[in-house]
Amino acid sequence: MIEFDSVVRSRRVVTPEGVGALSVGIRDGRIEAVDDYAAPMRARGTTDLEDVALVPGAVDVGAGVHEPGRDLAACYRAAGRAALRGGVTTLVAAPAPARPPVNCADSLRVHQGAAAGSGVSVYFLGGVTQGSGPLDLADLRAAGAVAFHCSLSDGGAPDLAALNDSQLRKAMVELAALDTVLVVHAEDAAELGTPPVSAEQRPATAERRGMERVVAAARLAGARTHVSPFTAAECAALLAAAGSVGVGLTAQTCPHYLCLSAETPGAEPWSHVCRPPLRSAANRKALWSALLAEGASPWGSAITTVGSGHLPSHGLFTLEWSLSALWTAARGRGRGLADLARWTAGAPAELLGLVGKGRIAVGCDADMVAFDPGRRVAVPSTDPGPYAGRELTGSVGPVWVLGRRVPRTEAVFGGEPTV
């Protein structure tokens, strides 16, 4: 009989096939067996979660890491700790704002070195600037960028200036040749007011105009494109229709857009921090409808992924509570753990071609999260994010990264329980 390094059992293991009572055998950081809950599996250590669920670790696309004035390696360590507390085992870091911005191979190597002590798996989006040429993009890809990011406004400010239509099409042509994905912050700079911080100065029309530009460019270039963050529900029809004209366009939204609105008590200050801002309660409801819609995408809706939107350079700290916040809202709409795993793990890994991530399956990395879907947690009032003082449902912990169970001394899980 094979001896595993460890075995984790749960009556609610979320796999690509569904949710079931299973045992997961881990060896050398990878999943080597998935068997019945009571299957005899010899291991050096066994964890039985009983009714606490076991879900794949989240793959968070486009999280910001760098905080102004702070050492880069310290930023990655802080982001890693927050990610682990929030059930994120893989960070796909945004290229900007950052020092240095990840817009060339040399800068990428600096970030790769700084991220080595983060405690989670870290991948990188390469930044597309106004001056990025074919060799720049190819070098970034060869150095390890798993996809690329650009902005049509201030989505990467001050390090990634807004692209015009010609620059956007040129980048898409080059990235299509590299067979990779372009993540676009799609608000159109021409539609933003001054200063572009309030909801009035960042209207939904900015997203709509930006989406129109993205669709037009992608239709000519044939590039796979992912809009993030997608917040204006009025653009859902445009997003859904892109496939009918041959455009491979999908989108990502964030839990704070699904859980909070401009009318939510205590959320008003965050409307000025989130870019795009929090929108109306009616928009939030319509955004859920768009996320849950059936469509031509293999995942259903064209909104395929949900990411934290963590952006400490702008004062937006969301990594730690995004999974619980999303689950709180999703559970209230009758959605299950399979949906949660698909939005936060399976679809992001598929989007970026991270074949060993995002699934609890034989051959995949043993990145897993114990998640108690019924446990209520109180977010401390001192938390620096938009969920401060709120009660959420769904508790994280413990977490396994590449088969290693993260000690509680490295990441404190679950917040304060609410009885």
In a domain, 7, yes or no: yes
Q: What's the residue count for the chain?
A: 419
Do residues 19 and 154 both lie within one domain?
no
Judge if the upstream peptide bond of residue 312 is cis by omega within 30 degrees of 0.
no
In a domain, 181, yes or no: yes
Secondary structure (3-state) at 72: helix
CATH code, 19: 2.30.40.10
| Rg of the Cα atoms in the chain | 20
Domain boundary among 330, 352, 374: 352
Do residues 211 and 263 both lie within one domain?
yes
Q: Identify the domain containing residue 389 by its residue range.
A: 3-55+364-417
In a domain, 110, yes or no: yes
In a domain, 359, yes or no: no
What is the pTM (predicted TM-score) of this model?
Answer: 0.96
Q: CA-CA distance, 403 to 413, in Å (whole number)?
A: 18
Task: Please tell me what DSSP assigns to residue 367.
Answer: -
Task: Please tell me what DSSP assigns to residue 379.
Answer: P
Collect contacts of 126-129 with beta carbons under 8 A, ≥24 apart: 126/95, 126/102, 127/95, 127/96, 127/101, 127/102, 127/103, 127/156, 127/159, 127/160, 128/103, 128/160, 128/163, 128/171, 128/175, 128/182, 129/103, 129/160, 129/161
Position 384 scores a pLDDT of: 94
Q: CA-CA distance, 21 to 32, in Å (whole number)?
A: 17
E strand map for 157-268 = 181-185, 224-227, 249-253
Strand-pairing partners, residue 6, are 26
Position 200 scores a pLDDT of: 87
Tens of pLDDT along the chain (419 residues) come to 689 999 999 999 999 999 999 999 999 999 999 999 999 999 999 999 999 999 999 999 999 999 999 999 999 999 999 999 999 999 999 999 999 999 999 999 999 999 999 999 999 999 999 999 999 999 999 999 999 999 999 999 889 999 999 999 999 999 999 999 999 999 999 999 988 888 889 999 999 999 999 999 999 999 999 999 999 999 999 999 998 888 999 999 999 999 999 999 998 888 778 999 999 999 999 999 999 987 545 545 799 999 999 999 999 999 999 999 999 999 999 999 999 999 999 999 999 999 999 999 999 999 999 999 999 999 999 999 999 999 999 999 999 999 999 976 666 665 555 53
Number of Cβ atoms within 10 Å of the Cβ of 388:
15
How many angstroms separate the Cα of 16 from the Cα of each of 51, 59, 377, 396, 399? 19, 15, 28, 20, 19
